[in-house]
Amino acid sequence: MTEHTEATVAEPRRDLPERIVIPPIRGEMVHLRPATVEDLPKLDELEAFSGATKITGKDAAAERAVVHAWVRRSVAWTEGRAPSESGVGDPESRRTMAWALLTDADHDMDHKTDAASTGNVIGMIFLIDIDGWSKSARIQVILGEDYRGRGYSRDAMPRVMTYGFAPEPAGLGMHRIWVAVPEQNSRSVSVYQSLGFEPSGTSRDALWDPVSGKYQDLIVMDTLVDEYDPIRSLDAFGMHVIEDNPGVKEALSAREHSIAIQQRTDGAAQDADADRRDARRTAATDAPSRDDAHHMTPDEARARLGLPPKHTEPATAAHAAEPDEESNWPYGQSERKTSKDAWWRTLGRGRKRESEK
């Protein structure tokens, strides 16, 4: 007796590795390397926490504290230490990856790369709340005050997201990447929409704005692995693909596969449309002409069209329809009703209205 075994598809692992290697990533205006604890004082020099209330909804002190925690968690993961050993425990064992953003640009045209005093560091970018079970992560960027609005985050974010979505081991294998944006930060909302993020919910009055003295909403936006297009997200900002970045080859392969599927789907739809057009032309050709129909009996005409003979009752005064008239009335001819008695006019009859009770 021959044994048959069925091939099974391996379920992706739902636990995060004990140790991670954070890859360097190249952009056109910036390049990314793993962030270190030694980079943290540079953020103070860059005044990266100014305006935090409008950008992230936190005050500067809270933003500074959380960024320090993220970097320490990231370093601990690269060293193979448990979350509890990073100095900032996490009962859900969610991890963080932190990159330092280094500029490759000379915006002030002084023939020197910008941010020389901080070793060209202009900010950081994070994947935080990395959830291995749900394959979800949050992305956030922090930039020095003088380096905002210049396109640096638009260069870095799509490349980090491409790595985040790429399957393991080339990438992190995430299913969902999300952001949380204060409602006042309309510029970031626009940028995230260009990257393919969609609003998925609102936390009402989740943040306090000390400037206006009012609460503000927190907008949650996200995108999924089968929705995110790394090519289009870069094109939206005039950026180009760098093929040797982590996860890019896998993303390009997946995109080509998706395009091939779409082309097959479109081709099948076009073939179906062509078949329908041919069927209509055949039916028109095979249909009896007016002269033929004039000499045909109703049953002959129905047979010509491939329909069964029509069984009719003798005409009575109750149904004085013409012999060859075919009715689609839902009732029997003897039960024919006027429009005032149509079935959809009788719905609810016999029921008392709420106001009459």
326: Cβ–Cβ under 8 A, 6 or more apart, which residues?
Answer: 310
pTM score over 0.75: no
CB 193 within 8 A of CB 155: no
138 and 265 share one domain: no
From the list 41, 12, 15, 51, the residue with the least C-alpha distance to 146 is 51
3-state secondary structure 219-242: EEEEEECCCCCHHHHHHCCCCCCC
SS (H, E, C) 70-99: HHHHHHHHHCCCCHHHHCCCCCCCCEEEEE
Residue 163 lies in a domain: yes
Among the three residues 285, 310, 335, which one is the final residue of a domain in this structure?
310
> How far is it, in rounded angstroms, from Cα 183 to Cα 264?
42
319 occurs within a structural domain? no
| Integer Cα distance of 260 and 271 in angstroms | 16
Query: From the DSSP assignment, how many helices (H) and strands (E) are in the chain?
Result: 9, 8
Number of domains in the chain: 2
Query: Which residue range is the domain that position 254 belongs to?
Result: 247-310
pLDDT single digits (tens) 250-268: 888 877 766 666 666 667 6
Helix, coil or strand: residue 277: helix
Average pLDDT of the residues in 17-35: 95
Q: What per-residue confidence (pLDDT) applies to 293? A: 43
Query: 192, 227, 243 — which closes off a domain?
Result: 243
Tell me the two tokens of residue 269.
């739809």
When pLDDT is cut at 50, 70 and 90, the band that residue 174 belongs to is: very high
Angle among Cα 75, 65, 213 to the nearest 5 degrees reads 150
User: Which position has the higher pLDDT, 160 or 82?
Assistant: 160
Note the pLDDT of residue 6.
47
